[in-house]
Chain A
Amino acid sequence: MTFKKLKEISRPHHYSLFLDKFFPRALRGILRKSTAFLALISFAFALFFNSLPLYFDYADGFFFLFIFIYLLLSFLEFFYKSMKSDGLRVRTEESLINKSKSIDYALSSILFSTDEIDITRALFETKIGMEVLIRSGVSLQNIKDFIYSEKSPIIASSLNLGNDFINLAAYAGIIYDADKSLQAFLSQNSINKEEFIGSATWVMNMEERRLRKERFWSRENLGAIPSIGTSWSYGMSSDLGKYGIPFENVTNVSSLDIENGYRDREVFLLEGILERKEEANAIIIDDSEAEARDIVGRFLKRIKLGISPPSIEHKNVIELDWGSLVASYKNKSELEAELLKILNQSVSAGNIILYIRDLSGLVSNVKALGINLPSLLFPYLSSRDLPVIASTTTSDFHFIIETIPTLLEKFERIIPNKTGAEASIDVLLEQVPSIERQYGFFFSYPSILTLANAADRFITYGEMPGKALDMLIEIAPWASERKISILRENDVSAFVSEKTGIDTGVIREKEADKIEHLEKLLHRRIVGQDEAVNGIANAIRRARSGIGNPKRPLSSFLFIGPTGVGKTEVSKALAESFFGDEKKMIRFDMSEYNGPEALSQLIGDFAMNKSGLLASKIRDNPYGVLLLDEFEKAAPDVLDLFLQILDEGIFTDALGRQVGCRNLIIIATSNAGSSLIWETIRSGSNLSQSKDTIVNAIIKDKIFRPELLNRFDGIIFFHPLQNRELESVARLELEKLAKRLKERNLELVINEDAINFLVEKGSDPQFGGRSINRAIQNEIEDLIARKIVSGEAKPGSKIEIKREELTK
């Protein structure tokens, strides 16, 4: 298709655009209304004063003149609207089913004013083009600088338009592909093609919706006016009134967009179930109740718009407020009678679909009072008179509903599909306009993308899109407090960092510096172990630069080496330098998990409805280092669990909840093969060269299976500390002691005697560096304590330790 042809297709729109340009709509409106008014006035004058000897004959003249103008303007307006709306006759069904048309009005308005010599400039000089850029997150000043900058213009005839149906988003994509300077400008503003086209699609859809709302004569808008008399053939239910809340009063149904295809599968399933002649009951199983509400809300919106199947027409969804109901009746028989009354009245009303939130909760709550709810509900659930929609969480469904066959067989299950970040974007966009109106700022399209991705990745509790929607609601007052006018990607990153304590966004200068010199930072606490430190630093750089696999843990390492060589210290240092706090570390001593109960201790027990330690700790601290000490001692089924965690960064606990480990750096430590390491060092050969031999020996001894070892990002060997390193460790530890003594106004002189003594102690192959700590505690601290007690060391004095004072 040529540009000329495209313009021709948009020609009918041009008449309305032409009118708007030379005879603005507002002016037309005022003129039309005032001529109608003046026509009436002159008609009245002509009618009442005609018999008087005055020159009121002019009134008749004016009347006809005004009628002429009024009719002319009215016909013009009809023509305008017809051309603008692609025909005045827009019906609900047509607009919902048949969305394809030649061209959208937004694009036509751009083409109408497009200068064919520089189409990029022409695009962004229009209001809509400008809005696309603003929604992409570009600042107004940058837009102006770009539009009026010197660049080689793209001529309309050079565009490759293709033959397919074209709309604003497709047109924006074509211009993006054609104009290199636009690409460069957008990438300078960190906007890629997908984000740019996404913004155009968003703007286009908003325009489309606005236009559709304007067409008050369409069946869609006329049909939305509620009819009278629909409830007259249905009964009244006074008690349901007290404990039943119309669903639309507690959930904002009007903001839901039923045309974006979101949750269509579930809504159609629900409609299918409720259309049945009997046992028309559905249970929505999802860990987030908001999901169930969303599905019921969309289902209800279809009823309100009159596009649901005939058997569901005119029905009302009423939510049973069982919280207040149970709280109001403490007595079994009273509550039972009340429940029966409510159910009977719902049946006699005839148009009620009962929504019971958290059915399992209701069952167990009334069970405490001795009421057997399943048998109470049974006749209603089997009948054709009262359709019920219930919701429950996955674990409650397995625990409670599945154990009650009478309940289980009456409900048809709906398990909502899990949505990823991408599918959640439409749902977020649905909510944006009302939030924008409430808080008075704009969201850019990339900010919504970032928000969806961040919620998916960094919020470990809840499901998508619920957690993304929660975040959208939380970010609004946050942005409004900071007087942000357009929310951009980096604002969302800042918000996520504040909320979760994890840096997610663009790497800032200070942080970049930190990451670049991570080795140096780690070496502040770790003596030697260059290979380990380099390996870790490289992995961290990969993770922060965003090239790591997002579907796995941030990084995972297996540290192999004898005890006391700094394995745990490296983990702590990593927690401190990467997550900003040494305490961001979950530590498990895996030697405690080697029995048959180990797995259930870690992931929970279904039969006892007990949550697992690993699951709950990770859920509480989803960002940090997970340290698994003495990994080789864990039970084989625990090792199998970690096979999955290391591979997918996620596991399911015994209660069926998913636990995300994708924001963790997982470090497993092991002494396996340490005798081989010692031998290698003693024989004077290079540890890194003997690595394969040691790993093979570990596999041969069946300590770890090869597939488990392969899952780690790196197997890092820690060599025993050499004298030089032991010296540094001794000095480091003594400095810590000196610092503590300084708080008591005592000065510890760190001398060679003390250091040499500690190095001697630290050369113990069994305990490594750890024996230095023990020696400080047992020998040096004891000695200082004796000196303090005896009065030899007074506040303000210096303490010097001599070799002969220390035990051999």
Chain B
Amino acid sequence: MSEAYEREPFFLAYIKWHYGQGMKEFFGVAGNFLWFILHFFSFKLLLKTLFAPWKRLGEHYEGGLDISAFASSLVVNGLMRIVGFVTRILVLSVGLISFVLMLAFSFFIFIIWVLAPAILLGSLVLSATFFIV
């Protein structure tokens, strides 16, 4: 346990947690989710193998001076690499968008977290205003 909340009443302990330990943990959890997106979309692996042929498909060129065979394997292998590249780029873009969205969401929550007392108080006041006015 990183901090001990010795004999503090519930409310006081909460406030202390909210701007101390709780904030740290919030970053930790946001970090976990961002890590998850990178992990789920296999960023590292897909970037490393960005130009690799799709599922290792392709033709093996035996060597020699057979122009047509050379051309055929060049085309097939090139095509497979393109297919691989396109798919990976697609997935990486979706991943990137998710990452940015997650980042934005985390930031949004962070704002709510920091302004929590104001937001809570504000919503209570607003609510009362609508009922009274």
Interface of A toward B, CB cutoff 8 Å: 8-9, 11-12, 15, 18, 57-58, 60-65, 67-68, 71-72, 75-76, 78-79, 82-83, 86-89, 91, 101-103, 217-219, 222-223, 225, 227-236, 306, 314, 348-350
Contacts and interface: CB of A to CB of B under 8 A. Distances in A.
B36 A12 contact: no
19 contacts: A58-B131, A60-B126, A63-B127, A65-B124, A67-B123, A68-B120, A75-B18, A78-B26, A82-B17, A89-B32, A103-B1, A217-B33, A219-B35, A219-B36, A227-B42, A228-B41, A230-B42, A232-B49, A233-B84
A82 B131 contact: no
B88 to A, nearest CB: 7
Given A88-B26, A235-B56, 14 more contacts: A8-B7, A11-B5, A15-B5, A15-B13, A57-B130, A64-B127, A76-B14, A79-B17, A87-B28, A222-B33, A231-B55, A232-B87, A233-B84, A236-B57
Nearest to B133: A57
B13 to A, nearest CB: 6
B82 to A, nearest CB: 14
B71 interface: no
B119 A71 contact: yes
A68 B123 contact: yes
A232 B36 contact: no
Contact of A236 (B35, B55, B116): B55
Give the one of A11, A103, A232 with max B CB within 10 A.
Answer: A232
A11 B131 CA distance: 41
B32 A232 contact: no
Interface string B105-126: 0000000100010011001101
Contacts of B52: 233
Interface string B41-62: 1100110010010111100000
B4 interface: yes
The number of chain B residues touching the other chain, given as a range, is 35 or more
Contacts of B33: 217, 222
A222 B39 contact: yes
A60 to B, nearest CB: 5
B1 A101 contact: yes
Nearest to B56: A235
B56 A102 contact: no
A9 B3 CA distance: 10
A230 B42 CA distance: 7
B2 interface: yes
Nearest to A351: B56
A328 B112 CA distance: 66
B29 interface: yes
A553 to B, nearest CB: 55
Contacts of B40: 225, 227-228
Given A58-B131, A82-B25, A228-B42, A64 B124 contact: yes
A12 B5 contact: yes
Nearest to B18: A75
A492 to B, nearest CB: 40
A78 B28 contact: no
Given A58-B131, A217-B29, A217-B33, A82 B22 contact: yes
B39 to A, nearest CB: 6
Contact of A89 (B13, B25, B124): B25
Minimum-distance CB pairs A-B, first 8: A89-B28, A61-B130, A235-B56, A64-B127, A233-B49, A88-B25, A222-B36, A65-B127
B7 to A, nearest CB: 7
B91 interface: yes
Contacts of A83: 17
A11 B6 contact: yes
B10 A71 contact: no
Nearest to A68: B123
B122 to A, nearest CB: 8
B35 A222 contact: yes
B21 interface: yes
A219 B88 contact: no
A11 B7 contact: yes
A781 B109 CA distance: 105
B1 A228 contact: no
Given A18-B10, A61-B130, A217 B120 contact: no
B19 to A, nearest CB: 12
Contacts of B129: 61
Contact of A234 (B26, B39, B55, B131): B55
Given A72-B120, A228-B40, A232-B49, A82 B21 contact: yes
A209 to B, nearest CB: 19
Given A9-B4, A68-B124, A234-B55, A61 B131 contact: yes
Contacts of B21: 82, 87
A91 B39 CA distance: 14
A348 B60 CA distance: 12
A230 B45 contact: yes
B56 A233 contact: yes
A399 to B, nearest CB: 39
Contact of B127 (A62, A227, A229, A350): A62
Given A71-B123, A225-B36, A232 B88 contact: yes
A90 B39 CA distance: 17
B10 A15 contact: yes
Q: Which of A65, A67, A89 has the most CB of B within 10 A?
A: A89
B50 to A, nearest CB: 9
Nearest to B60: A348
Contacts of A60: 126, 130
A236 B58 CA distance: 12
B39 A227 contact: yes
A693 to B, nearest CB: 77
A223 B127 CA distance: 42
A220 to B, nearest CB: 10
